[in-house]
Amino acid sequence: METQPHLPPGASLVPDWITPAREAVLAAFLDAGAWSGELKRRVRHFGYRYDYRARSATAESRIGPLPDMLKGLAERLVADGFFSDVPDQVIANEYLPGQGISAHVDCEPCFGEVIASLSLLSGCEMRFGCLASGETRAVILQPRSLLMLVGPARRDWTHAIPARRSDVIDGVRVMRVRRVSLTFRTMRF
């Protein structure tokens, strides 16, 4: 696990948490199913559906167990010491060049204390903002990297992906391509 000075307290980034071959299998698995167009970006829910309008997820929003492919990753998150309980909710978000997600803190009444996000296919910049001080930080999420948010990074900082077509990585402007993230969470009822 890599804690970086430009990450908020409680955040860590694990580079290459999965192999390129596993990344391709996960992307193919996601694309074999039905994506929802309910947002500006496409999404898929597993385990429980998150209601964006109500900003909640309840026991009644259960849509079934995690598919084996995602359950294996969820179990690995426990084996690697990131979660104490196997995550039971996963959301896949697809970001095409120019798409992002506004600054937010994942629903605290809905989800547990740990949030894990696995980046697939493309890198991008994620921006963090401290709710108390207004301080901002940014990090590049590389493909196959695992971002962990716990403690202050989970509760006291927002995270966002700027809606743009490129990012500056190591001083070089890099055009974005399709990116998919898998966010693992545990339900809190």
Q: Is residue 3 part of a domain?
A: no
Displacement of CA 125 from its chain's centroid (Å):
13
Q: Is residue 4 part of a domain?
A: no
Say which CATH number the domain at 109 has: 2.60.120.1520
Cα dihedral angle (133, 136, 139, 144), rounded to 10 degrees?
60
Q: Is residue 2 part of a domain?
A: no
What are the backbone angles phi and psi of residue 86, rounded to the nearest 5°? -65, 125
Q: What is the pLDDT of residues 63-116, one digit of tens each?
A: 999 999 999 999 999 999 999 999 999 999 999 999 999 999 998 888 999 999
pLDDT above 80 (res 18): yes
Which of helix, strand or coil describes residue 77?
A: helix
Number of domains, the chain: 1
Q: Which domain holds residue 112?
A: 11-185
Q: In the structure encoding, which two tokens stand for residue 33, read together? A: 């199913």
Q: What is the pLDDT of residues 114-164, one digit of tens each?
A: 999 999 999 999 999 999 999 999 999 999 999 999 999 999 999 999 999
pTM given for the model: 0.94
Q: Quick check: 69 and 80 in contact, CB under 8 A?
A: no
Cα dihedral across residues 61, 62, 67, 68: positive or negative: positive
Q: Is residue 6 part of a domain?
A: no
Q: Is residue 94 part of a domain?
A: yes
d(CA 111, CA 71): 17
Q: Is residue 129 part of a domain?
A: yes
Q: Is residue 96 part of a domain?
A: yes
